[in-house]
Amino acid sequence: MTSKSFENEFIEIYDFKGQKTGKKALKAVIHKNGLHHSTVHLWIYTLSGEVLIQKRSLNKILNPGVWDVSVAGHIHFGETYNQAVIRETLEETGINIESFKLHKLGVYHSNSIHDKIIDNEFHHTYVLEIKKELINISFKNDEVEELKLIPIKEMESLICKDLKNYFIGKNKDYYLDVISEIKKRTTKNYL
């Protein structure tokens, strides 16, 4: 299945405050009409201060071939946030995770306009510390071209450089907020 066929998934419509409406629509319809919806973002990091990033497949409709956070995906209609982050993590990294190890940072709103897509999302954002040896860096599939562990300082630098078509980090405040939280949780001294 190519990434373009994922547009046929049903996802829940949210109101402008981030509350579920109980209504669903195809992802393609939600993106075409700019309807609010929710996603999960999981930032996987190691205790020694590295962050897992993924290079999006060239088959992706949005941001093909661009580096992104460890895991990011839409929440299916009727799915809980934890179910979505567990499913997306397995799909995009091959890693089975347990929900009790997740730490939810919060919900961040993002609005971006692309060629034929208006993406109005509420990112339910999590962090997860994982042992480096549990990460299969050679994992890839039709959604993920490549995985890479990079030092937090390098991640921070990439976000601040605002490199077009290299890293998705367009919402610097969001990315730097998450990086700040990860720094607090690692053994590296960043002062």
Instruction: For residue range 61-112, list pLDDT tens digits in order.
Output: 778 888 889 999 999 999 999 999 999 999 999 999 999 999 999 999 988 8
pLDDT at 191 over 90: no
Does residue 28 belong to any structural domain of this protein? no
- State the Cα–Cα distance between residues 158 and 155, nearest whole angstrom: 5
Q: Per the domain annotation, does 59 fall within a domain?
A: yes
Identify the CATH number of the domain in which residue 157 sits: 3.90.79.10
Let me know if residue 94 belongs to a domain: yes
In a domain, 16, yes or no: no
Tell me if 40 sits within 8 A of 75, measured CB to CB: yes
Q: Residue 33 domain-assigned?
A: no
**Could you give the CA distance from residue 125 to residue 105 in angstroms, rounded to a whole number?**
6
Torsion 112-170-150-62 (CA) sign: positive
Residue 104 belongs to some domain of the structure: yes
Residues 6 or more apart whose CB falls under 8 angstroms from that of 92 comprise 54, 70, 71, 72, 73, 141, 143, 144
Over 80: is that where the pLDDT of 188 sits?
Answer: no
84 within a domain of the structure (yes/no): yes
Q: What is the pLDDT of the chain when averaged over all its residues?
A: 88
Residue range(s) defining the domain that contains residue 171: 40-109+122-185
**Cβ contact 20:12 at 8 Å:** yes
CA 119 to chain CA centroid, nearest Å: 14
Dmax over CA atoms of the chain, in Å, equals: 47
pTM of the model: 0.90
pLDDT digits (tens, 9 = 90+) for 147-185: 999 999 988 888 877 666 666 656 788 888 999 999 999
Is the separation of the CB atoms in 88 and 72 below 8 Å? yes
Residue 5 forms part of a structural domain: no
The count of domains in the chain is 1
